[in-house]
Amino acid sequence: MLEQSGNVKQSDGPKERRPIQPATDLDCVAETRFGVHRQDSRWLDARHCLLALIASLSITSNVGAHAPAVVITGVGTAVVDGATSSGEWQSAGCREFAVNVPEGGTTPGIVCAMNDDANIYLLVRFRRQIADPGNSGVIEFDNDHDGIREDGDDVLLINPDIGFFDELRSTAPPCPAGALCGFFDTALGGTNDGTGAFGNDGTFTTYEFLHPLDSSDDPHDFSIGPGSVVGFDVSVRLIGAGQQIADTDFPQGMFGDLVIASRIASVEVDIKPGSTQNHINRRSHGKIPVAIMSTGDFDASTQLNAASLTFGATGNEPSLAFCHAADVNGDRRKDLMCHFNTQAAGFRAGDTQGVLKGLTITGVPIEGTDSVRIVR
């Protein structure tokens, strides 16, 4: 199910402007949280800058917690160019959400993540025929996974008018007392680590992010590796031609979980145990049984995080209904027998395999496939 959040609001209209200052100008560094109007990209509004510092990036430290059903992980490498090529993000973990648009209503969006040995890659993509006059995408992290937004948490920003910036939450001056603000890493003596790209191909608006898992800028960046779990939050701001502002936050008021993967462990799965054809009627309102088989050195019934399992045409579909332990193949080992909602699995005519993805209880990603035959 798509999650919707945020509001559409009117801007306050023209105000006094001044030229953009370098990132070392701490009075205005927080402006880049959502960037500036595309057509006014050479200017900052002095009053808006102060409001952005106090309101848009200043929060109380008890806001947070984690959304239990929003977990993404995957292994792979992306080309960060603002476009998605066929198969580029296939091995990533993804979650759908609704993006608010300036004219009112929402458009379908998705956030994906995967990592290789050196970097984490993140994708925010939503259906949009043209690029809005103003665009900003932000990924904010809960570095220590404690559910609290606090000093030192990492932030990544892409705004097509000003580029990619590596930021962090901080209480350093000129942040008001009792508030938590956002600053460029470079403004606090750090480095701008990573890269990002923005694009619109006439169908989708795309933000792609890259950030090192362990940069040399330890005071301002997280240092994470395989098995690490950090919180993440996606923010999107779109500004329409009439200066309407649409903000989206996902998960709303909370963090999702981003698991840094080591390798993908292959598991044996059996779709519709006992059937050789694995017929699937995609119009059915029933459930698809899928067994994850245990082996001599792998106990699927106890070593899998059942709540993390996704299944369907790509393996990213959140279609899980329930799981239970059972000896499916008569080898005297308990397997994990799970049932997935057919319509949520996203199968289409012509699909020939079903894909299951998930995590072990120690955070190792798993994947398994079996053949299917779509009959309707």
Say what the alpha-carbon torsion angle 261, 263, 264, 266 is, to the nearest 10 degrees: -150
Chain segment 62-72, per-residue pLDDT in tens: 345 788 889 99
d(CA 75, CA 264): 7
d(CA 293, CA 270): 8
Q: What is the pTM of this model?
A: 0.64
Q: Who contacts 82 (Cβ-Cβ below 8 Å, separation ≥6)?
A: 197, 198, 199, 206, 207, 208
Contact 120, 213 (CB under 8 A): yes
Task: Note the pLDDT of residue 362.
Answer: 74
Domains of the chain: residue spans and CATH: 8-259 (2.60.40.1190), 265-374 (2.60.40)
Chain segment 209-235, per-residue pLDDT in tens: 999 999 999 999 999 998 899 999 999
Helices (H), the chain: 46-51, 300-303
Residue 95 in this model has a pLDDT that exceeds 70 = yes
Q: What percent of the chain has pLDDT over 70?
A: 83
Confidence of residue 262 (pLDDT cuts 50, 70, 90): confident
Residue 276 in this model has a pLDDT that exceeds 50 = yes
d(CA 164, CA 239): 18
Provide the 8-state DSSP code for 22. P
Contact 358, 365 (CB under 8 A): yes
Residue 152 in this model has a pLDDT that exceeds 80 = yes
Residue 358 in this model has a pLDDT that exceeds 70 = yes
Q: How many CB atoms are closer than 10 A to CB 327?
A: 14
Residue 80 in this model has a pLDDT that exceeds 90 = yes
Confidence of residue 373 (pLDDT cuts 50, 70, 90): very high
CA 49 to chain centre: 27
Nearest in space to 129 (alpha carbons), one of 39, 200, 231, 218: 200
Task: Note the pLDDT of residue 261.
Answer: 86
My answer on whether omega of the bond before 174 falls inside 30° of 0, hence cis, is yes
Average the pLDDT over 125-149 and give the result: 95
d(CA 303, CA 71): 17
Buried-state track 134-157, b at ≥16 Cβ within 10 A, e below 16: bbbbbbbbbbebeebbbeebbbbb
How many residues are listed for the chain in this entry? Answer: 376
What burial class does residue 241 get, using C-beta atoms within 10 Å of its C-beta: 0-12 exposed, 13-18 middle, 19+ buried?
exposed
Task: Note the pLDDT of residue 256.
Answer: 95
The side-by-side arrangement of strands in the sheet containing 353-360 is 265-266, 365-371, 353-360, 304-312
Residue 320 in this model has a pLDDT that exceeds 50 = yes
User: Rounded to whole angstroms, what are the CA distances from 73 to 90, 151, 312, 332?
Assistant: 12, 25, 16, 32
Contact 231, 142 (CB under 8 A): yes
